[in-house]
Amino acid sequence: MKKIRAFINNSNISKFRFYFQIAAFVLFVYGGYFYVTISEKLPTFACPFNKGSGGTCYLMPLQHQLHMTWSRFIGPGGIHLLKGFLVFACFGLVFSKAWCGYLCPLGTIQDWITKLRKVLHIRFSKYGETTFKGLKKIKYILLFLLIIIPLGVSNSLLWLPKFSHDIFPPFCKICPGRIVLPLFTGDTSQIYIDFSTKTAMTMTALGMIVTGIFFTGSFFKKRFFCLFCPMSALLYIFSKVAILRLNKNVAKCTRCGNCYRVCDVGIKEIADDVINKNIVKDDCMLCLKCVEACPEEGCLEVSFFNIPVFMSTETGFFKRYCLRNEIK
């Protein structure tokens, strides 16, 4: 048992993650062809517009279920919404943010783009702390909008006229997943701008623009789109109570900042927070690179059902970061 534990702790989880992501990508993008349908309430961007999806993103049914008149909320519509959310919550409670780091196909594509940039020896871009904090708020705004707009399509909000149905489903219209993921199954039909009405044109054009930003952004900044992802905001609800956790033994932290350095989404608290034990933040995708980069024995630890499954070790750090570039 001790040996197995040491083997896991000293292993290169990033490599494991790379292959795991490929497997998950195949499952979520091509699984449908093999009659795999895991669920329609997945907390990950497996896009329903892609015919091969082996399970689909929860944001789509969420928007549809919110698209109803107030009266239907107290009745079958409400129950339906609640049931959907409970299924989604179950997924979120088990794997928490690991959905983002290990399973999300859109996240995987961004990691591949980063790999391409590294091969080309092109620099990444840097942000000031304040810019970064400002950008991060966008995902909460998007989450708010994707809830409020479907309500506004079926109801009059604040005595305003109802929104045009052409705006629906609002997030899917602007989500790059809708355009990018079908491409992997040879479906280019999502690349379009709908000129039928003004609203439709705005929304589909926005979708194209966001897709453009998605590619350029994630080329220069790791996991760029994840900063704005409303799913990430929604999953954050469960991270404090989820079964899969990232814990920090704060007494052991030297605040060397290695974890912050390697963090793809630039979470500063992981290095600076020496009060909280549960260290999963809203942008975290549980990729566990921080655990790999921590040279302090047992300072960062991943637990499942309170059983530690992977923790930072001195030996592991040297194996991963130093001895491999031994010269002479």
Partner 1 sequence: MNEKAKIRLIIEVKKSLKEIMDDFSDVPEEMGYFYERFRAFFEETPNNGKKVIATMCIHVPVELIYAVGAIPLRVCSGARSMAEIGEEFFPAKACPLIKSTFGALYLNIFPMAAAPAMIINPTTCDHKKKIGEMAEDIDSCFYTLELPPTKETEEARFYWHMVVKKLAKELERVTGQRLTRKKLKAAIGIVSLAQAQLRRLYNIRKGNPVIWGNNAILVANAYFFDDIANWTDRLSRLNDELEDRARRNQYVVGQEAPRILLAGSPSIFPNMTLPVMIEQMGGIVVAEEFCSSSRSLYDMVAVDEWSLYDMIPAIADRYLKPGICPCFTPNIDRKRRLLNIAGDFCIDGVIYNSFAGCQLYQMESRHVEKILEQNGIPMLYLETDYTSDNTGQLTTRLQAFMELLQDQKS
What the block records as the tokens of 279 is: 């260290």
Which range, of 29-37, 38-46, 270-278, 302-310, touches partner 1 by CB under 8 A? 270-278
How many amino acids of this chain bind partner 1 (CB under 8 A)?
33
Tell me: does residue 274 bind partner 1 (CB under 8 A).
yes
**Binding residue (CB under 8 A) for partner 1 from 262, 273, 303, 308:** 262
Rounded Cα distance, 249 and 274, in Å: 8
Which range, of 4-12, 230-238, 239-247, 315-323, touches partner 1 by CB under 8 A? 315-323
Rounded Cα distance, 327 and 222, in Å: 30
Rounded Cα distance, 269 and 281, in Å: 8
Nearer to partner 1, 119 or 307 (CB): 119
Nearer to partner 1, 274 or 309 (CB): 274
User: Per-residue x/- marks for partner 1, 104-143, CB under 8 A?
Assistant: --------------x--x-xx---xx--------------
**Binding residue (CB under 8 A) for partner 1 from 237, 261, 277, 309:** 261
CB atoms within 10 A of CB 284: 27
187 phi and psi angles, rounded to 5 deg: -105, 110
Q: Are 268 and 260 in contact (CB under 8 A)?
A: yes
Q: Are 110 and 224 in contact (CB under 8 A)?
A: yes
Which range, of 102-110, 209-217, 228-236, 245-253, touches partner 1 by CB under 8 A? 245-253
Tell me: does residue 268 bind partner 1 (CB under 8 A).
yes
Rounded Cα distance, 286 and 246, in Å: 8
Tell me: does residue 144 bind partner 1 (CB under 8 A).
no
Footprint on residues 192-221 left by partner 1 (CB under 8 A): none
Rounded Cα distance, 168 and 150, in Å: 7
User: Per-residue x/- marks for partner 1, 72-111, CB under 8 A?
Assistant: ----------------------------------------
Length of the chain: 328
Nearer to partner 1, 2 or 328 (CB): 328
In sequence order, what are the residues at sequence separation of 6 or more whose Cβ sits closer than 8 angstroms to the Cβ of residue 177? Answer: 45, 47, 49, 57, 105, 106
In sequence order, what are the residues at sequence separation of 6 or more whose Cβ sits closer than 8 angstroms to the Cβ of residue 83? Answer: none
Nearer to partner 1, 1 or 326 (CB): 326
Q: How far is the CB of 145 from partner 1 (least distance, A)?
A: 30
57 phi and psi angles, rounded to 5 deg: -70, 140
Q: Name the residues that contact partner 1, by CB under 8 A.
A: 118, 121, 123-124, 128-129, 251-258, 261-262, 268, 271-272, 274, 289, 293, 295, 314, 317-318, 321-323, 325-328
